[in-house]
Structure 1
Amino acid sequence: MSAIDVVGQYGAAIAAGDMDALVATLADDVVWHQPGANQRSGDHVGPDAVLAHLGAFMELSGGTFALETESATESGQLVATTVRFTARREGAADLDQHGVDVFRVEGDRIAEIWLISEDQDAEDLFWG
């Protein structure tokens, strides 16, 4: 399976809200690198930590957080996707941004994920 296919399965699992399918795409020692200076920033290691991290986005946004993959391209083990992510939160301006997510795939699992937001300062304000 190609790296872009693995990331495609990840994206389909996110879109469907299928956490079992999502975990199946992640390496046991996956690292999610969350940028910025907010309560969710930092490295989240392992599938359980990634699920908890995504769950925190849902909790903080009252279930409104959504992530949509717009396009993807690959170079060997690396896959870059353009994304749009949205969320609402009481007391904060709505979050509606584009970004780039970069994945490193080993075999048939995602080993690392880096996120790049179009406006990190606005995202930091949103997540607090």
Structure 2
Amino acid sequence: MAEHPDAALVRRGFEAWTSGDMETVGTLMTADCTHHSPGESQISGHIKGRDNVLDMYRRMFEITGGEMRVELHSISVDGRGHAVAANRFFATREDKGLGIEMNGALVFTIIGGKISDIDECIEDIDVSDNFWGPAE
């Protein structure tokens, strides 16, 4: 059976993000896409607009020196423009001598074949905030 188009879109996004291909990630989003990231860290908040979301992703790679990866566990869809991607995130910060390994999920809203909204859920907000550091 063929993969649902929304699941295929999310999978392409994960593959591009993991390889640092922000150009491709950007093509998968609407111009007004918003990423909602939990917590109080420097990557937290409601990041509005594709360019700002991509800047936040680039900042994550910068903070970790590119030492990040995501293992995609599953993608579930509802056939009405929503997809949930369960994953495990791994990253290190040499500057702080920290590493993180955490389960999470991304809830996507998809309109017209593009990602318009991403709600991020994570296993432990306090651990994440400590890893990423305070908002600047």
Question: Do residues 125 (structure 1) and 119 (structure 2) align?
Answer: no
String of CA shifts for 1:87-125, please: whole Å, max 9, x gaps. Answer: 111325311111011100001100000111111110000
Work out which of the residue numbers 84, 90, 100 in structure 1 matches 2:88.
Answer: 84
Q: Which amino acid in structure 1 is aligned with residue 106 of structure 2?
A: D
Q: Which runs of 5+ in 1 are unaligned?
A: none
Counterpart contact for 1:69–1:82, Cα < 8 Å: yes
**Identical positions, percent:** 30
String of CA shifts for 1:12-58, please: whole Å, max 9, x gaps. Answer: 21133222211110001000001101111111112211111011111
The alignment covers a number of residue pairs equal to 128
* 89-98 or 79-88: bigger deviation: 89-98
Name the structure 2 match of 1:115: 120
Q: Which runs of 5+ in 2 are unaligned?
A: none
1:1-128 correspondence to structure 2 within 5 Å: 2-75=5-78, 76-89=80-93, 90-128=95-133
Query: Where in structure 1 do 4 or more consecutive aligned residues deviate above 4 Å?
Result: none
* 9-18 or 109-118: bigger deviation: 9-18
Counterpart contact for 1:36–1:120, Cα < 8 Å: yes
Question: In the superposition, relative to structure 1, how do residues 16 and 58 fare at CA in structure 2: closer, same or farther (>3 Å)?
Answer: closer
**Aligned CA-pair RMSD:** 1.4
Q: What's the TM-score once normalised by structure 2's chain length? A: 0.87
Secondary structure at 1:4 match in 2: helix
